[in-house]
Amino acid sequence: MSATLRWRAPDGLDAGDIDAWTGLAARAGPHPNPFAMPQFVLPAARWLTPSKPPRIAWIERGGPHSPTLIAVGAFAFARPDLFVPLPHLCDYRTPHTFRGGLLVAAGEEGAAIRALLSSAPNGRRWRALDVRNLPLDCAELESARHLAGSEGGDWFPRRVFARPILDVPAGDTPVLPESKDRRRHRRRLQQQGALEFRLLRGAEVDGPAIRAHLALEHAGWKGGRGSSLLSAPAQAAFFREMIAGFAGIGAAVLMETRLDGRVIASSSNLLLGDTLNGFKIGWDPEFADCGPGILDEAALIAALPAQLPGVRRFDSQAQQDSYLARLLPQRMRMATGTLALDRNAARAMRAARWLRPLAWRLERDG
């Protein structure tokens, strides 16, 4: 039986729907997408885009009386622009959405993508799918490219980059070699007091831990530039609700670096399936010359075999030139681009190539 899609509004979901959506993560394939979870999408819609809530793609198998949820995604309908000169669907985007795509049950990627590509939100037809930060070799993109190609469509990459990651082996084997810089920084901190690293999970991610994390994330260059979470009340409210939601299902993980009991660095992470996903980090500028951020991330990774033994990947969710690129030895290719659904859409995308330098310049200047 083929899958069916219903377009839903975030405020039209009840507690049973949210439970079913949350439970879908347990049936997802390797490295599921935390940014397609209700614990992320619903706070983001409430606080970050209240005037432009996403449309929820609710994809099921089975009859009307006993459907099985197989995939959920958040999207927006977009008019033609310089990047995509066609009516198109784009994945839901916020400043904190570091990966696009669906949350989909293992083995159902093809059926979910087929249902998505044949849908018409609010009765409007669209001719292209624009996605951001999708793993280049994921089953979703592979299925979408195959289906579009069968209709004469094509994939038009706009940006490809290499995200720092670390695949974690099973067992107690240390997963990162020690470096001279980290040893030196650790010694310098130990000379100033008792150094401790604490991993907090679930209910341990409480009010004091969240307040310390937000304060440290604000204390550095992000606060000075006005891009920290505490720089805008709505951003901070989003984070508090989002991290509390993940903590409520045991999926929020904070690593704290403490000096004589004082938190001097803190990283927030989202645990989903076999993957720990980095989210935010902050550290006390007073200790910046001791590399507290790198020490905190290294301590998190070192703790995985004993404290989170089911984790098989740490996905930094960072850009390829992030400071984490110096710590993590592996890379995952990520892509932003547009899928033209048929031959005419592909022609329109090719014809508009001359506009793209202008589009990039306007996006950069904006």
Q: What is the pLDDT of residue 366?
A: 41
**At a CB cut-off of 8 Å and minimum separation 6, what does 1 contact?**
61, 62, 63
Pairing mode, strands 275-283 and 262-272 = antiparallel
Q: Which fold has domain 4-162+333-365?
A: Aminopeptidase (3.40.630)
Which segments of 34-187 are extended strands (E)? 55-61, 68-78, 88-91, 103-104, 128-135, 154-167
Within its chain, how far is the Cα of 207 from the centroid?
Answer: 23
Q: What is the pLDDT of residue 362?
A: 57
Task: Measure CA of the first residue to CA of the last residue in the chain; give whole Å.
Answer: 46
CATH of the structural domain 169-311, one choice from 3.30.420.40, 3.20.20.190, 3.40.630.30, 3.40.50.1000: 3.40.630.30
Q: What is the pLDDT of residue 365?
A: 44
Single-letter amino acid code for the residue at 310 = G
3-state SS class at 350:
helix
pLDDT tens-place string over residues 24-52: 999 999 999 999 999 999 999 999 999 99
Residues 336, 341, 344, 346, CA torsion sign: positive
Main-chain phi, psi angles of 107, to 5 degrees: 85, -5
Q: What is the pLDDT of residue 197?
A: 98
Q: Which regions of the chain are under pLDDT 50?
A: 364-366
Q: What is the pLDDT of residue 353?
A: 80
Give domain limits for the chain: 4-162+333-365, 169-311
Q: What is the pLDDT of residue 356?
A: 66
Q: Are 75 and 88 in contact (CB under 8 A)?
A: no
Q: Are 13 and 7 in contact (CB under 8 A)?
A: no
Q: What is the pLDDT of residue 148?
A: 95
Residue 301 sits at the vertex; the CA angle it makes with 300 and 302, to the nearest 5 degrees, is 90
Smallest CA-to-CA distance from 129 within 319, 332, 354, 342 is with 342
Q: Are 33 and 92 in contact (CB under 8 A)?
A: no
Predicted TM-score (pTM) of the model is 0.94
Q: What is the pLDDT of residue 62?
A: 85
Q: Are 103 and 28 in contact (CB under 8 A)?
A: yes
Instruction: For 215-231, give the DSSP string.
Output: HHHHHSHHHHHT-SGGG
The CA distance from 171 to 28, in Å, is 23
Smallest CA-to-CA distance from 103 within 13, 35, 41, 3 is with 35
How many helices (H) and strands (E) would you count in the chain?
11, 13
